Amino acid sequence: MNPSEQILHLREQIAHHNYAYYVEDNPRISDAQYDALYQQLVALEQANPELITSDSPTQRVGDQPLAGFVSVKHAVPMFSLGNAFNQEDLENFQKANLKLLPSLNTTYSAEPKMDGLAINLRYQDGLLTQATTRGDGSTGEDVTHNIRTIQSIPLKLSGTGWPAVLEVRGEVFMSKKTFNRLNQQQLEKDEKAFANPRNAAAGTLRQLDPRIAAKRQLSFYVYGWGEISDNWPMPSRYSYVIEQFKQWGLPTNPDAEVVEGALGMQTYYDALLLKRPNLPYEIDGIVYKVNDIASHKILGFTAKAPRWAIARKFPAEEVWTELLDIEIQVGRTGALTPVARLKPVAVGGVIVSNATLHNLDEITRKDVRVGDTVIVRRAGDVIPEVVGPVLSQRTENAPLFEMPQACPECDSEVIKEHDKAVYRCSGGLYCPAQRKRALQHFVSRKAFDIQGLGDKLIVQLADAELVKHPDDFFKLTVEQLANLERMAEKSARNVVEAIEQAKHTTLARFIYSLGIPEVGEVTAKNLAQHFITLAKIESADQASLVAVPDVGEIVAENIETFFKQAHNLEVIQGLIESGVNWPDPETQKVDEASPFNGKVVVLTGTLQQGSRTDAKKQLETLGAKVTGSISAKTDYLIAGENAGSKLTKAQALGVTVLTEQQWLEMIGTDNG
Ligand code: IVH
């Protein structure tokens, strides 16, 4: 064999053993033998670099982080699913379909509903070319660099007969085992544990550096498809298509089954519910799909979901545990939140030891008392909640909970907010808890985004009085940091470097970081876009503030009050003097990462959040071209209330239509 043939042969062998190991969980060779094959390939490729191609297993993990994520419009939209909560809902699902199609064959593919993230994988001529997240269903983000690191996903399809274009869809998830190991490592590194496997998987795909995903070991099961070349002879059954995907080396869920009618759906449900605790991955229900594909076209879609598929949700898991204490947490703005300290208990796949009790009214309504046995519930992605006490277990004289009259952190007077359930510490920045929260907010991801400055480190810095106000971060030295407990010189150096880099920010992030009550990320962006300079925001009066989209009277008042206070102005001055800066408005570029950059957008109908002129300005800052009429060139129509002919025309031309809410979500979340 010449080197080229040898390389191809090795790649095939490695792909085959990958499948045996990662998909079948049934390795045929030892790790050492696998490594030997791999090293042989590495050596051959090094000697013949011209033979390296992107589908080689040596090329899974790139060594350069991306600069940012790129938005990709899906060739076929990614839908969500309707929900069924009980057997009756499933029977109605079948009845409704039989009404539309009396000859319907009521055989279904039943599959676990994986608790991860939907991903579209595009194969061109058998090679993986792109992987995208679901996003809003019509546009997602390119995460190819991270998806390529998933060992069970073939970079090249095996076998023959695949269509020139094949998009498969499925769920990327993290197994329970990997999740537990990752969280253990996070804690050892003094980093935050992930709440559940789904968040861990999402957090991993959001990384720009593929080396992180490679370490974290995600999994994938295919459950559907997107665009497929027209000339491919699609099998007649859903389950046959999935079987074909399996033949091409794609991982499929071994727990899927074909079931018969409503009764079959019920039987599968009962069995899977029993199996659930022992499955190696988290699920939040079951998906049933009409198996006959010809019927899919006839049944079609509702606005959001296919009529031929439905998700049956599992009930939220409930457990009993002991309420050890009710502690008071003091938030950034002084609000006191009672938190239940629970005897640690596993529920819905995570160990729960705290749950918020929100406020006094909630505690009174539920009548929970320290010492009670309480019911704790957690459904899917939802944060754990204390449902209520188990009264039969209550001991006599269990004390009623009362809010403290003095702040547990600084002893300042606690004031009950007029007309609201909120109790607040009146200590302001004198209160160490409020100060710590404000500092944590200042460095958080959407604010100054200083890597390495975790919550615990901030508490240490505040307790050591090294940082009192945000501008103090910029005065920290390597020595000061290295002197702290659990801090190595190298980490100290990294932190100081990250702080130095964080000095270059944007006006929007700067405003957000100040923590003005009720000024969130979106409002901060709007303020920056509207006023362009900090000086103008500082001196703005009520009337000019309420002209900004998203700013009402209360927020305007908060902003004005904030900039009137001398100590706030001092902090701002201190920050600027430390070298904090943002691009000059003249040279400010459009937001290139925005999903609207370079897009042609039309606005129609009445918008709730402000005028169309505001919306137009905002879109233009995001790099969009806003035009007045719909054509085939239009990328998006944003349709407010009572949209008329433009909406009809857009639908006729297949232009993506966004509701105002969808639009706000696209610009409001995570593009900062
Ligand atoms: S089918 C048009 N099958 O559930 C049908 N979805 O609410 C699209 N999911 O975003 C989905 N396991 O992320 C399907 N076996 C499965 C699934 C599954 C998990 C997720 C998927 C989707 C969401 C739908």
**pLDDT tens per residue, range 116-131:** 999 999 999 999 999 9
Using one digit for the tens of pLDDT, what is the confidence trace for 541-587? Answer: 999 999 898 898 989 999 999 999 888 899 999 999 999 999 877 55
pLDDT at position 155 over 90: yes
pLDDT of residue 669: 39
Can you tell me the distance from the alpha carbon of 48 to that of 7, in angstroms, rounded to the nearest whole number? 10
Name residues contacting ligand 1 (CB within 6 A): 79-81, 111, 113-114, 118, 134, 171, 223-224, 287, 306, 309, 311
Mean pLDDT confidence for 10-16: 94
In this prediction, residue 591 carries a pLDDT of: 67
C-beta atoms surrounding 668 within 10 Å: 16
- Closest Cα to residue 603, out of 621, 623, 622, 619? 619
- 17 Cα: distance to centroid of ligand 1 (angstroms): 29
How much is the mean pLDDT over the chain? 91
Q: Within 10 Å of residue 618's Cβ, how many Cβ atoms?
A: 22
Span 73-77, average pLDDT: 94
Q: For the ranges 44-58, 183-197, 490-504, 639-653, which has the lowest average pLDDT?
A: 183-197
- 8 Å CB contact between 512 and 548: no
List the one residue out of 660, 633, 631 whose CA is nearest residue 646. Answer: 631
Question: Which one of 78, 109, 114, 276 would you pick to mutate in the ligand 1 pocket, going by the greatest count of ligand atoms within 8 A of its CB?
Answer: 114
Beta bridge partners of 82: none
Separation between Cα atoms, residue 359 and residue 339, nearest integer Å: 9
Cα–Cα distance, 597 to 73 (Å, whole number)? 13
**Own/partner pairs for 53-59, CB < 8 Å, 24+ apart?**
54/127, 54/155, 55/11, 55/127, 55/128, 55/155, 55/156, 56/7, 56/11, 56/155, 57/11, 57/14, 57/15, 57/18, 57/155, 59/148, 59/155
Separation of CA 134 and ligand 1 centre (Å): 11
Q: Quote the percentage of the chain above a pLDDT of 70.
A: 97
Write down the pTM of the prediction. 0.59
Neighbours of 423 (CB within 10 A): 21
Q: Which residue out of 168, 245, 287 has the highest number of ligand 1 atoms within 8 Å of its CB and is therefore the one to mutate?
A: 287
Query: With 50 as the cut, is the pLDDT of residue 539 above it?
Result: yes
For the chain, give percent helix, strand, coil, nearest 5: 40, 20, 40
Per-residue pLDDT averaged across 105-113, rounded? 97
168 CA from centroid of ligand 1 (Å)? 12
The atom number, within ligand 1, closest to the CA of 309 reads 5
Tens-digit pLDDT profile for residues 380-431: 556 788 999 999 999 888 899 999 999 999 999 999 977 777 899 998 878 9
Give mean pLDDT, residues 464-479.
Answer: 94
- Look at 644 and 275; give whichever has higher pLDDT: 275
| Percentage of the chain exceeding pLDDT 90 | 71
Q: Residue 434 and residue 313: Cα distance in Å, rounded?
A: 40
Report residue 619's pLDDT band, with 50, 70 and 90 as the boundaries.
confident
Asked whether residue 634 carries a pLDDT value surpassing 70, the answer given is: yes
Band of pLDDT at residue 671, cut at 50, 70 and 90: very low
pLDDT confidence of 379, banded at 50, 70, 90? low
Dump pLDDT digits (tens) for 217-228: 999 999 999 999
Q: What is the structure's pLDDT at 588?
A: 53
DSSP for residue 237: B
